[in-house]
Amino acid sequence: MPSTEVVIAKRFNNLLRPLQVHIHRSTVLAGELAQIHHVDVEACELAAGTHDLFRSEPDFAQISTAEKYGIPIGDIEMKTPMLLHGANAAAWLENEAGLTDNRVLEAVRWHTFGWPEIDDIGKILYLADKLEPGKVTADPSLAVIRNMADIHPDKALLALLQKRVEAQLSKALEVHPLTLALIENLKSN
Ligand SMILES: [Fe+2]
Ligand SMILES: [Fe+2]
């Protein structure tokens, strides 16, 4: 059986170039942030390197993959199947690539919404995914949060989550309960 790295690399190599670039930039930033904040660098890089392996799957494939792995599909995911890509990637990594580190699997699973019990690896992935250089270039208002991430990662995380809530509400989209629960947790800390 091919190694976890080979199975992951094979899937990565089939992604379109812009997504590969985003994953690569996220991985570099995850490594940097992990080092600054004394979090497991290897685990953070692995989470960032695999978080979007299902990002470009079409809606029907998101749904069928979720069904295949028994992932619950809520109303929010049914409306926007792309939101399943983290859970689908985590299930695939566990079942097809033999990835066993639960911290990495959880970070990948919930990277779109965040989750109330988020750990340090989940936080680093969330920050790296949303703040890699391509994202800041596309939205220069993120520069302040990017700088914050080096010093106050929890504050940066809260700012990103609040930005996400605003964006969802402005599009009249429902905010995932996990995101709201995480915001409450961060506020009370
Ligand atoms: Fe993603
Ligand atoms: Fe991403």
pLDDT of res. 93: 98
CB 162 within 8 A of CB 184: no
Domain tally for the chain?
1
CA 45 – ligand 2 centroid, Å: 13
Q: Report the distance separating Cα 21 and Cα 51, nearest Å.
A: 13
pLDDT above 90 (res 106)? yes
CA 129 – ligand 2 centroid, Å: 5
pLDDT of res. 189: 80
Q: What CATH number should be reported for the domain holding residue 129?
A: 1.10.3210.10
Secondary structure of residue 51 in the 3-state scheme? coil
* pLDDT tens, position by position, 114-158: 999 999 999 999 999 999 999 999 999 999 999 999 999 999 999
Which ligand lies nearest to the CA atom of residue 85 in the structure?
Answer: 1
Eight-class DSSP state of 84: G
CA 55 – ligand 1 centroid, Å: 6
CA 51 – ligand 2 centroid, Å: 6
Q: Report the distance separating Cα 107 and Cα 126, nearest Å.
A: 8
pLDDT of res. 1: 74
Residues near 171 by beta carbon (within 8 Å), at least 6 away in sequence: none
Which ligand lies nearest to the CA atom of residue 82 in the structure?
Answer: 1
Owning domain of residue 53: 4-188
The reported pTM is 0.96
Q: What's the whole-number mean pLDDT along residues 71-98?
A: 97
pLDDT above 80 (res 177)? yes
Neighbours of 8 (CB within 10 A): 21
CA 44 – ligand 1 centroid, Å: 15
CA 127 – ligand 2 centroid, Å: 10
pLDDT above 90 (res 164)? yes
pLDDT of res. 137: 98
* pLDDT tens, position by position, 36-81: 999 999 999 999 999 999 999 999 999 999 999 999 999 999 999 9
Structure tokens at 39: 């979090």
